[in-house]
Amino acid sequence: MGKDLKGKELEIGLSQRKDGRYSARLVTNRGKRVEKYFDKYQDARRWLAEARLESEKGDMAAWAVGMTVNEWFDYWIVNIKGTTVRPNTIRNYRERYRHNIKKSIGGMMLKDVRPMHCQIVLNNMADTYAGSTIMQCLIALYNMFQSAFENGIIVSNPVVRTIKLPKPVENKIRVLTIDEQMLFMEVARNSSNYPQFLFALNTGVRTGELIGLKWEDLDFERGIISIRRSMEYRYSTGEWRIGPPKTKKGYREIPMTNECRELLESLKKQFELGKHVEDEFKEFVFINRKGIPTKNSTYDSCIKKLTQKAGMENFSMHTLRHTFATRCIEAGMNSKTLQVLMGHSSINITMNLYVHVTDDEKAKEIKKLEDYAEEWRKIQTGISDIVKVKNAN
């Protein structure tokens, strides 16, 4: 097992040279030693995984005879992509394959898939899925077939430029009105998840970022919350998975509101007074009565019960993030600042996805226009009167 220049152990077959380049080497099933050099670690990992695949299977074209799309995906996701991309990316690939690709073309022979089959996969999603999810499916399709093409398993990638994203059904984002927000929080006051709901409405963090928040991320002196990780429970493996925020901009600092500071100080006091927490989770801020973090899906289940009790339309935990962003805009926050607080990779995402102008705000803006027009009419009338007086003289 090789090491990088900092002494970190790398997977078998990889090492870093003194010049900073990465070496990837293996011995094929025919006993031939092969070694290549790469500037980037991920490129070295990818080549090594694919070289091992070719070595194991020998003549790739012969191996592909009789292979279905299902069989290729199962091999590709574990042996090729499984060692080269982040766990969240693997999860997205699996979800899109299981829910959308498999039922349409999973049983087809890999070599028989044509562009029209891939287009049908996307078209079938149009009435149910958001545009971003359809794009994820297109990316999964392209990458799995491109890898098969580059390894000589198929003669071409069927995901070509003529494939178009269908127009998705309009997905109106749910945002709580001020009255709804107040009603929900009043009903949720006695819920064990009340602190998490209040925190989300004061920070706009994603659920995974909330779950992964540690005491070391809180700077009470500066009044700053640092977002450094995301955590979620994987039911498939029965374990908690910690990873980086969704994007590079997801690493951010959020100032504490007064309400947020009071909440966090109260939770800190409970912790110091000996609140039951399992040893492996003592670093984390939001812990339930069992002494462990609350699972992602449990929040939505809790919200459903509370909205039913309040007689409200149901919503998801993510709605609290949308609501925070909307309250910020209503308070006059500029969009660039909001982008930073939300951890969005671009200002367009902030403007297009999270800024929802409420009916009240529309009315306020129209009233401003009316007031301006009335003021301008007064000025014009005043000028006209002055002109009349001058002409009379």
Task: Tell me how far apart the alpha carbons of residues 370 and 356 are, in angstroms, rounded to a whole number.
Answer: 22
> Phi, psi (5° rounding) for residue 18?
-65, -25
Residue type, 54: E
DSSP string, 150-210: HTTSSSS-S--TT--PPPPPP-PPP---HHHHHHHHHHGGGSTTHHHHHHHHHH---HHHH
Task: Tell me how far apart the alpha carbons of residues 351 and 256 are, in angstroms, rounded to a whole number.
Answer: 23
H or E stretch covering 243? strand 239-243
Q: Which class is 1-45 in CATH?
A: alpha beta
Q: Which of the residue ranges 143-147, 287-291, 296-300, 335-339 would you say has the lowest mean pLDDT?
A: 335-339
Interior/surface letters 185-211, b for 16+ CB within 10 angstroms, e for the rest: bebbeebebbbbbbbbbbbbbbbbbbb
All structural domains of the chain with their residue ranges: 1-45, 59-171, 178-354
Count CB neighbours of 93 within 10 A.
24
Closest by Cα among 314, 313, 296 to 304: 314
pLDDT at 350: 72
Q: Is the pTM of this model over 0.85?
A: no
Count CB neighbours of 238 within 10 A.
7
What share of the chain has pLDDT > 70, as a percent? 83
| Superfamily for domain range 178-354 | Intergrase catalytic core (1.10.443.10)
Closest by Cα among 185, 207, 170 to 312: 185
Q: Identify the bridge partners of residue 16 per DSSP, sorted by sequence position.
A: 22
Q: Identify the bridge partners of residue 233 per DSSP, sorted by sequence position.
A: 240
Positive or negative, the Cα torsion across 93, 94, 96, 100?
positive
The answer to whether 246 and 343 have CB atoms below 8 angstroms apart is: yes
374 or 393, higher pLDDT: 374
Whether 1-45 and 59-171 share one fold: the answer is: no
3 or 290, higher pLDDT: 290
What digits encode the pLDDT tens for the residues 226-249? 999 999 998 877 889 898 888 888
Closest by Cα among 319, 321, 213, 348 to 268: 213
- Name the region of 58 (left: φ>0; alpha: ψ -120 to 50; beta: rest): left
Mean pLDDT of 120-124: 95
> Phi, psi (5° rounding) for residue 316?
-105, 170
What digits encode the pLDDT tens for the residues 266-303? 999 999 998 999 999 999 999 999 999 999 999 999 99
CATH 1.10.630.10 fits 59-171, yes or no: no
